[in-house]
Chains A and B, each alone.
Chain A
Amino acid sequence: MKDPMYTSCSDWEEKLAAVHLDDLLPAERRAFNRHAASCAACAAILADYLDIDALIRRSLTPKRPLELPQDFVFEIEQKTGEEQLVKQIFANQSIDLLQEATLIVEEAQKQWEEHIPTTRRPLEFSSRYPSVSAVIPIQNDDEIQNLHYVLRSIPPIVTEVILVGSFQNEAIAILSRHLPTNARIIVQTGKGKSNALIESFDACTGNIIVTLEANGSTNPAEIPLFVSKLIAGNHLAKGSRFIKGGVSNDTNLLRSLSSYGLSKFVSKLFKTPLSDLCYGYTAFWKHCLNYLEIDCDSSGIELETLLYLRMLNHTLKVVEVPSVECPSIDGQSEWPTFQYFWKMLKVLVKARMTGRIRDIHQSVYMEILPNLKRSHGLT
Chain B
Amino acid sequence: MLTGMSDTSLVKLAQAGNGEAFGMLFQQYKMEIFGYLRGRLGNAEEAYDLTQRTFLKAWQKLPQLHDVSKFKPWLYTIARNEANDWWQSKVKTPLESLEQLEEQHVLVSKPGPEDEVAETELVMLALAELSPKYRDCLLLQIEGGLTLSEIAGMLGITQESATTYASNARRQFRQAYRRLKGELNIAIEGSILVERRLKP
Contact = CB atoms under 8 A, between A and B. Distances in A.
Q: Do A and B come from one complex?
A: yes
Interface of A: 13-15, 17-19, 23, 48-49, 52-53, 55-63, 66, 68-69, 72, 76-77, 79-80, 82-83, 87, 95
A156 to B, nearest CB: 12
Contacts, number: 101
Given A18-B166, A80-B20, A83-B18, A60 B35 contact: yes
B123 A56 contact: yes
B173 A52 contact: yes
B19 interface: yes
A62 B39 CA distance: 11
Q: Secondary structure of the B side of the interface?
A: helix
Interface string B112-136: 1000000110011001000000000
A95 B9 contact: yes
B87 to A, nearest CB: 18
Given A68-B26, A76-B23, A49 B51 contact: no
A52 B59 CA distance: 33
Given A13-B171, A18-B166, A52-B170, A66 B142 contact: no
A19 B166 contact: yes
B23 A62 contact: no
B28 to A, nearest CB: 12
Contact of B19 (A14, A49, A61, A76): A76
A62 B17 contact: no
Nearest to B110: A63
A63 B23 contact: no
Given A56-B142, A56-B143, 8 more contacts: A17-B170, A48-B174, A56-B35, A57-B142, A60-B35, A60-B123, A72-B52, A83-B16
B2 to A, nearest CB: 12
A55 B38 CA distance: 14
A61 B32 CA distance: 8
B15 to A, nearest CB: 10
Interface in B11-49: 12, 16-20, 22-23, 26, 30-31, 34-36, 38-39, 44, 47-48
Interface in B39-81: 39, 44, 47-48, 51-52, 55-56, 59
Q: Interface range on chain B: under 10, 10 to 19, 20 to 34, or 35 or more?
A: 35 or more
Interface of B: 9, 12, 16-20, 22-23, 26, 30-31, 34-36, 38-39, 44, 47-48, 51-52, 55-56, 59, 110, 112, 119-120, 123-124, 127, 138-139, 142-143, 147-148, 163-164, 166-168, 170-171, 173-174, 177
A140 B110 CA distance: 67
B17 A80 contact: yes
B83 to A, nearest CB: 13
Nearest to B12: A95
Nearest to A18: B167
B123 A49 contact: no
A52 B148 CA distance: 18
6 contacts: A18-B148, A18-B166, A56-B139, A66-B51, A72-B56, A72-B59
A52 B122 CA distance: 12
B19 A62 contact: no
Contacts of A58: 119
Contacts of B39: 56, 60
B22 A60 contact: no
A66 B138 CA distance: 23
Contacts of A87: 18
A52 B52 contact: no
A62 B166 contact: no
B113 to A, nearest CB: 12
